[in-house]
């Protein structure tokens, strides 16, 4: 079974700071980690390989330092890693990111299951996985909390607001996983030594068969006008009256004064 895991290197914080001038992430002084949900995706792939045999390939799009994230994945047990990196990919929105990653996965060749985390903890859009499936023209299942494989049939339990949805899909399929699916293993010493020796191929724009102008900032249909941290909320107005009728009347008056109603 050929398993591809998409891994994003993210800042080790959920409190992302934005440069007010350039509107981009401030990465200085913030250590980078493998996106936590992507470790769950990798653990799923490693367990499937242990049960059914095959190969696990991890792939990341990012700057050259994203190699560190891929090395950590190799140390956990992935067989190979590819870094998709080029100045031309800079400033990509989710559509351009997914387009580029899909082109890289096509270049990898045969795949049965593509695994992603449910979302990245910095961008948080949860769009890249589903968009990749659309570019590749394959089935997708998101928010997967349990997964088993029998031949070409993939059975999943999908997290839902009110419980679980049980689905069966055929490979090739893209699956995004939630934290509840497993506990990611730690890198081993042997794995770390192997990862340190590993040469990670770097694929640029010229290595991918891309037919649409869909790369980087230029190929991104979304334009960020402004990114800002909303001001801290102040305490609201407290209305205390003898009766509910009086409280509602007071509230309506306040809303009218503020020209809201």
The answer to whether 226 and 236 are in contact (CB under 8 A) is no
Considering the complex, state which of residue 213 and residue 236 has its C-beta at the smaller distance from ligand FAD.
Answer: 213
- Considering only residues 222 to 261 of the shown chain, the ones binding ligand FAD according to CB under 6 A are 222, 224
| 182 is a site residue for ligand FAD (CB under 6 A) | no
| 62 in contact with ligand FAD (CB under 6 A) | yes
Helix (H) or strand (E) holding 192: helix 189-197
| Of residues 197-226, those binding ligand FAD (CB under 6 A) | 222, 224
Burial of 174 (0-12, 13-18, 19+ CB in 10 A): buried
Among residues 129, 172, 191, 219, the one that binds ligand FAD under rule CB under 6 A:
129
Residue with tokens 């993210």: 10
User: What is the four-CA torsion angle of 106, 146, 160, 172, rounded to 10 degrees?
Assistant: 20
Site string for ligand FAD, 31-50 (x = CB under 6 A): ----x-xx--x---------
Q: Taking CB under 6 A as the rule, does residue 184 contact ligand FAD? A: no
Residue 3 lies near ligand FAD (rule: CB under 6 A): no
Judged by CB under 6 A, the stretch of 13-21, 69-77, 111-119, 196-204 that binds ligand FAD is 111-119
Answer yes or no whether residue 122 interacts with ligand FAD by CB under 6 A. yes
Q: Taking CB under 6 A as the rule, does residue 123 contact ligand FAD?
A: yes
Residue closer to ligand FAD by CB (options 38, 43) is 38
Which residue is associated with the tokens 């096509």? 106
CB nearer ligand FAD, residue 137 or residue 151: 137
Q: How far is the CB of 40 from ligand FAD (least distance, A)?
A: 9
Is there binding between residue 133 and ligand FAD (CB under 6 A)? no
**Rounded distance between C-alpha atoms, residue 91 and residue 68, angstroms:** 21
Residue 78 makes CB contacts below 8 A (sequence gap 6+) with 5, 42, 45, 46, 56, 57, 58
Q: Are 121 and 109 in contact (CB under 8 A)?
A: no
Give the neighbor-by-neighbor strand order of the sheet with 113-117.
163-170, 153-160, 139-150, 173-177, 113-117, 2-6, 55-61, 80-84, 202-203
Residue ranges that bind ligand FAD, judged by CB under 6 A? 6-8, 24, 35, 37-38, 41, 60-62, 91-94, 97, 101, 116-117, 119-120, 122-129, 222, 224
């Amino acid at each position: 079974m050929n398993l591809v895991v998409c891994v994003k290197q993210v800042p080790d914080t959920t409190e992302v700071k934005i440069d007010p001038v350039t509107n981009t992430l401030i990465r200085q002084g913030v250590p980078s980690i493998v996106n936590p949900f992507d470790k769950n995706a990798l653990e799923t792939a490693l367990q499937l390989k242990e049960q059914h045999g095959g190969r696990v390939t991890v792939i990341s799009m990012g700057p050259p330092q994203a190699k560190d994230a891929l090395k950590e994945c190799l140390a956990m047990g992935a067989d190979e890693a590819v870094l998709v990196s080029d100045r031309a990919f800079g400033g990509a929105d989710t559509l351009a990111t997914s387009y580029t990653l899909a082109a890289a996965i096509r270049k990898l060749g045969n795949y049965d299951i593509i695994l992603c985390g449910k979302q990245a903890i910095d961008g948080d859009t949860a769009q890249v996985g589903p968009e990749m499936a659309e570019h590749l023209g394959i089935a997708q299942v998101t928010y997967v909390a349990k997964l088993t494989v029998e031949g070409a049939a993939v059975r999943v339990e999908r997290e839902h607001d009110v419980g679980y949805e049980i689905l069966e899909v055929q490979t090739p399929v893209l699956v995004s996983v939630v934290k509840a699916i497993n506990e990611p293993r730690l890198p081993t010493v042997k794995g770390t030594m192997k990862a340190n020796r590993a040469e990670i191929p770097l694929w640029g724009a010229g290595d991918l068969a891309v037919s649409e102008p869909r790369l980087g900032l230029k190929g991104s249909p979304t334009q960020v006008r402004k990114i800002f941290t909303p001001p801290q909320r102040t305490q609201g107005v407290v209305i205390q009256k003898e009766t509910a009728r009086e409280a509602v009347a007071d509230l309506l008056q306040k809303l009218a004064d503020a020209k809201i109603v």
